[in-house]
């Protein structure tokens, strides 16, 4: 980390982008000012990859006195952009814990300015209208070994090109009938420099400018200029933009931007995660193909999905800090993200009891009508800390798989004749197994040891297993949605076939349990309330929950069950 003296003190780890910013400040570049930006295209929801960019850009601005990070929507493509996406992106950035203050911008704010620049370039003979078909333009562009042909439009006078551009703007030409191109170098080995397209015609309504325009700037033309117009000092972007850099500079030369006021582009490696796809187009396919319930499906790597799943902004920020920022592409193990999540939830979630697949237990020697109101701490490691009352009575539910009629040797939980401890309550022993006509276990008749109240038997005998439970009469019913990884292979996109990645969807990524029982303290829990169900994992109340109809999402299991599967597979 740089030891820049006035930089705000915090615990964020350093990274090479931060180091470059610090060096620029020391040199007094941009008068010591630091302006970054996060420039999403509003054509989908933000995902965890975007979070890396948000944490980096907003993080840098936060660490510098007077630092600024703009939220700029790159809304140059009217056909794919929607207000819904703009609103969701704003909500997600805020939720992650960042604030753009007054610095909310849209590339469409600059349509007028960009048009002025373009007109000036045409007047200077630096841009021209190409009214050939897209196909012709492509065919005459050449390739790495062969220079492209010069377009006929290049030979027109500026006045002629200006008139044609005006007709494009007025809507007199159809979509695709003409484009505005900059006069680059058709022989350049950098194919991007071969007369790059600046404007295309799209008779489409724009979410902000309505029908005011039917020509729209290309991303490459709008992006660098937008940074420049906003006074961005450090334009931080992902590696695939390295080869756009010369073009961005060249455009800035054309519009006469002084060297000292130009943004410096810094590229970093985008986030890739195992078992996850992070391409917005692929995420769109998942949503529109109904492979998931929506953008905020808790299995999606979108911030909206992760929020609904029970991720916290703190966990995501901690993860982004931990993975760091580099200039080499790599794939991060998703278990690192899950680890950050467990670590955060472990520190914040109260421990409560829920039974997901209930089986009834009747304590035949427990007095009918008697109820123990057990004072149970929310954090077992702090027995004197905050607590709630958990009722215990004659009829209980325990987890069906905590019982086995014919247990193998090392099964220490409940079985006929065996003893177990019920958390915070007492020791019980199974006397009888009741079944229905089909042979399914319907009820366990047990006795409790009155001398074991609290869970410790008076005679000091060892009890190996402690089970969670709820009181049948007092428990609230709940639907529980058990979520798991959406893909069952590490690299879902590795296949050759176009739709092959969809065959890697995990068919067990969602299991719905309709008859779960939760302790009564959770009765009025509202959406977003996060808890640990003892022995089961972390869960959060889903927004689908209604008064009297609880719905819980499993955020994550207590342990990494996938690691066990992988280890077993190898052994
Ligand atoms: P996708 O490839 O998923 O469609 P994108 O780059 O087209 O993503 P944008 O809306 O343009 O999506 O992204 C906004 C910003 O977020 C860009 O600066 C981009 O570099 C950054 N970004 C996008 N995906 C990632 C990622 N996986 N890791 C880090 N940064 C990312
Ligand atoms: Mg993009």
Q: What confidence tens digit (pLDDT) does each residue in 95-106 have?
A: 999 999 999 999
Give the model's confidence band at 449: pLDDT under 50 very low, under 70 low, under 90 confident, else very high.
very high
**Residue with tokens 């006397």, as numbered in its chain:** 431
463 CB-contact burial (10 Å; exposed 0-12 / middle 13-18 / buried 19+): middle
- The Å distance, Cα 40 to ligand 1 centre, comes to 7
* Whole-Å CA distances, 507 to 45, 369, 429, 499: 24, 45, 38, 16
- The Å distance, Cα 252 to ligand 1 centre, comes to 23
Q: How many residues does the chain have?
A: 571
pLDDT at residue 370, as a whole number = 98
Mean pLDDT along residues 79-84? 85
pLDDT at residue 10, as a whole number = 56
Could you tell me which residues are beta bridge partners of residue 182? 127
| List of residues 6+ apart from 560 with CB closer than 8 A | 335, 338, 339
Give yes or no for residue 564 having a pLDDT over 80. no
Q: What is the Cα–Cα distance from 339 to 272, expressed in whole angstroms?
A: 17
- The Å distance, Cα 19 to ligand 2 centre, comes to 25
Q: Is 81 in the pocket of ligand 1 (CB under 6 A)?
A: no
List the Cα angle 342/307/291 in 5-degree steps: 105
Q: Is 554 in the pocket of ligand 1 (CB under 6 A)?
A: no
pLDDT at residue 355, as a whole number = 98
pLDDT at residue 4, as a whole number = 46
What is the separation of C-alpha 174 from the centre of its chain, rounded to a whole number of angstroms? 39
Mean pLDDT along residues 555-560? 93
Is there a catalytic annotation at residue 270? Answer: yes
Q: Whose CA is nearest to atom 10 of ligand 1?
A: 40
Q: Whose CA is nearest to atom 9 of ligand 1?
A: 40
Give yes or no for residue 75 having a pLDDT over 90. yes
Give yes or no for residue 538 having a pLDDT over 50. yes
Q: Residue 520 gets which letter from DSSP? A: G
**Residue with tokens 């701490």, as numbered in its chain:** 377
Mutate to test the pocket of ligand 1, among 270, 277, 283, 327 (most ligand atoms within 8 A of CB): 270
Residue 134's closest CA among 102, 92, 181? Answer: 181
Q: Is 270 in the pocket of ligand 1 (CB under 6 A)?
A: yes
Could you tell me which residues are beta bridge partners of residue 235? 265
Q: What is the Cα–Cα distance from 339 to 34, expressed in whole angstroms?
A: 33
Tell me the per-residue pLDDT of 318-368, one tens digit each, with 9 for 90 and over: 999 999 999 999 999 999 999 999 999 999 999 999 999 999 999 999 999
Read off φ and ψ for residue 106, nearest 5 degrees. Answer: -135, 140
From 167, 202, 270, 453, active-site residue = 270
For helices 219-230 and 245-254, the axis angle rounded to 10 degrees is 70
Q: What is the Cα–Cα distance from 305 to 308, expressed in whole angstroms?
A: 5
Q: Which atom of ligand 1 is closest in space to residue 278's alpha carbon?
A: 3
- The Å distance, Cα 46 to ligand 1 centre, comes to 9
Q: What is the Cα–Cα distance from 61 to 37, expressed in whole angstroms?
A: 9
Read off φ and ψ for residue 272, nearest 5 degrees. Answer: -120, 145
Q: Whose CA is nearest to atom 16 of ligand 1?
A: 50
pLDDT at residue 320, as a whole number = 97
pLDDT at residue 12, as a whole number = 67
- The Å distance, Cα 475 to ligand 1 centre, comes to 46
Give the model's confidence band at 2: pLDDT under 50 very low, under 70 low, under 90 confident, else very high.
very low
From 25, 37, 41, 419, active-site residue = 41
pLDDT at residue 565, as a whole number = 57
pLDDT at residue 154, as a whole number = 97
Q: Is 182 in the pocket of ligand 1 (CB under 6 A)?
A: no
Tell me the per-residue pLDDT of 166-185, one tens digit each, with 9 for 90 and over: 999 999 999 999 999 999 99
Question: What rounded mean pLDDT belongs to the chain?
Answer: 94
Q: Is 60 in the pocket of ligand 1 (CB under 6 A)?
A: no
Tell me the per-residue pLDDT of 7-32, one tens digit each, with 9 for 90 and over: 544 566 789 999 999 999 999 999 99
Q: Is 284 in the pocket of ligand 1 (CB under 6 A)?
A: no
Mutate to test the pocket of ligand 1, among 43, 59, 72, 238 (most ligand atoms within 8 A of CB): 238
Q: Is 39 in the pocket of ligand 1 (CB under 6 A)?
A: yes
Q: Is 75 in the pocket of ligand 1 (CB under 6 A)?
A: no
pLDDT at residue 80, as a whole number = 81
Give yes or no for residue 432 having a pLDDT over 50. yes
- The Å distance, Cα 322 to ligand 2 centre, comes to 24
Q: Is 42 in the pocket of ligand 1 (CB under 6 A)?
A: no
Give yes or no for residue 74 having a pLDDT over 50. yes
Dihedral (CA of 232, 237, 239, 243) sign: negative
Please report, rounded to a whole number, the percentage of residues in the chain having pLDDT higher than 90.
93
Q: Is 40 in the pocket of ligand 1 (CB under 6 A)?
A: yes
Give yes or no for residue 81 having a pLDDT over 80. no
Read off φ and ψ for residue 501, nearest 5 degrees. Answer: -55, -30
Tell me the per-residue pLDDT of 97-137, one tens digit each, with 9 for 90 and over: 999 999 999 999 999 999 999 999 999 999 999 999 999 99
Domains, the chain, ordered by start: 13-108+220-323 (3.40.50.620), 111-219 (3.90.800.10), 352-474 (2.40.240.10)
Tokens of 287: 């949503």
Give yes or no for residue 571 having a pLDDT over 80. no
pLDDT at residue 20, as a whole number = 96
Q: Is 244 in the pocket of ligand 1 (CB under 6 A)?
A: no
Mutate to test the pocket of ligand 1, among 36, 39, 48, 53 (most ligand atoms within 8 A of CB): 53
Mean pLDDT along residues 49-73? 97
- The Å distance, Cα 488 to ligand 1 centre, comes to 24
pLDDT at residue 495, as a whole number = 82
- The Å distance, Cα 74 to ligand 1 centre, comes to 11
Mean pLDDT along residues 413-423? 97
pLDDT at residue 164, as a whole number = 98
Tell me the per-residue pLDDT of 247-298, one tens digit each, with 9 for 90 and over: 999 999 999 999 999 999 999 999 999 999 999 999 999 999 999 999 999 9
pLDDT at residue 262, as a whole number = 95
Give the model's confidence band at 561: pLDDT under 50 very low, under 70 low, under 90 confident, else very high.
confident
| List of residues 6+ apart from 163 with CB closer than 8 A | none
pLDDT at residue 11, as a whole number = 61
Asked whether 85 and 43 are in contact (CB, 8 A), the reply is yes
Give the model's confidence band at 498: pLDDT under 50 very low, under 70 low, under 90 confident, else very high.
confident
Mean pLDDT along residues 493-507? 92
Give yes or no for residue 556 having a pLDDT over 50. yes
Q: Is 235 in the pocket of ligand 1 (CB under 6 A)?
A: no
């Amino acid at each position: 980390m740089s030891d820049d003296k006035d930089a705000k003190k915090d615990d964020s780890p350093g990274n090479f982008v931060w180091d470059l910013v610090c060096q620029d400040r020391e040199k007094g570049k941009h008068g010591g000012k630091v302006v970054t930006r996060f420039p999403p295209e509003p054509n989908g929801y933000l995902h965890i990859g975007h979070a890396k960019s948000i944490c980096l850009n907003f993080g840098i601005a936060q660490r510098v006195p007077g630092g600024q990070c703009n939220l700029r929507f790159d809304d140059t493509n009217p056909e794919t952009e929607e207000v819904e996406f703009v609103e969701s992106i704003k909500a997600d950035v805020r939720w992650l814990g960042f604030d753009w203050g007054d610095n909310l911008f849209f590339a469409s704010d600059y349509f007028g300015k960009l048009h002025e620049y373009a007109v000036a370039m045409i007047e200077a003979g630096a841009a021209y209208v190409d009214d050939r078909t897209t196909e012709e333009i492509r065919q005459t562009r050449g390739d790495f070994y062969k220079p492209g042909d010069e377009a006929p439009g290049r030979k027109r006078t500026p006045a002629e090109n200006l008139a044609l551009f005006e007709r494009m703007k007025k809507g007199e030409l159809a979509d695709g009938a003409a484009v505005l191109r900059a006069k680059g170098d058709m022989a350049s080995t950098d194919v991007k420099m071969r007369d790059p397209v600046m404007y295309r015609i799209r008779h489409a309504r724009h979410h902000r400018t309505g029908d005011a325009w039917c020509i729209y700037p290309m991303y490459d033309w709008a992006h660098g200029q937008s940074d420049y117009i906003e006074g961005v000092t450090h334009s931080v972007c992902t590696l695939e933009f390295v080869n756009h850099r010369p073009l961005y500079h060249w455009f800035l030369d054309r519009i006469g931007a002084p060297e000292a006021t130009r943004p410096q582009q810094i590229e970093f490696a985008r986030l890739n995660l195992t078992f996850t796809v992070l391409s917005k187009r692929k995420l769109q396919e998942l949503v529109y193909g109904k492979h998931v319930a929506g953008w905020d499906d808790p299995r999606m790597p979108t911030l909206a999905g992760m929020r609904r799943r029970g991720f916290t902004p703190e966990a995501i920020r901690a993860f982004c800090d931990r993975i760091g920022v580099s200039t080499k592409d790599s794939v991060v193990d998703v278990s690192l993200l899950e680890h950050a999540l467990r670590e955060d939830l472990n520190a914040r979630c109260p421990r409560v009891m829920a039974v997901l697949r209930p089986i009834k237990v009747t304590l035949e020697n427990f007095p009918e009508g008697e109820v123990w109101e057990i004072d149970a701490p929310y954090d077992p490691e702090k027995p004197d800390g905050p607590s709630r009352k958990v009722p215990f009575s004659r009829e209980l539910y325990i987890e069906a798989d905590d019982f086995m009629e014919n247990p193998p040797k090392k099964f220490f939980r409940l079985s006929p004749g065996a003893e177990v401890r019920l958390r915070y309550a007492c020791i019980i022993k199974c006397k009888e197994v009741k079944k229905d006509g089909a042979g399914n276990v319907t009820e366990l008749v047990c006795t409790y040891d009155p001398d074991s109240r609290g869970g410790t038997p008076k005679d000091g005998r060892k009890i190996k297993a402690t089970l969670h439970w709820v009181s049948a009469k007092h428990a609230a019913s709940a639907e529980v949605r058990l979520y798991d990884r959406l893909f069952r292979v590490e690299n879902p996109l590795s296949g050759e076939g176009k739709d092959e990645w969809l065959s890697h969807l995990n068919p067990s990524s969602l299991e719905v349990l309709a008859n779960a029982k939760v302790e009564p303290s959770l009765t009025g829990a509202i959406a977003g309330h996060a808890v640990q169900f003892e022995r089961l994992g972390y869960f959060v109340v889903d927004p689908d929950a209604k008064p009297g109809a609880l719905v819980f999402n499993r955020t994550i299991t207590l342990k990494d069950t996938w690691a066990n599967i992988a280890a077993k597979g190898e052994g």
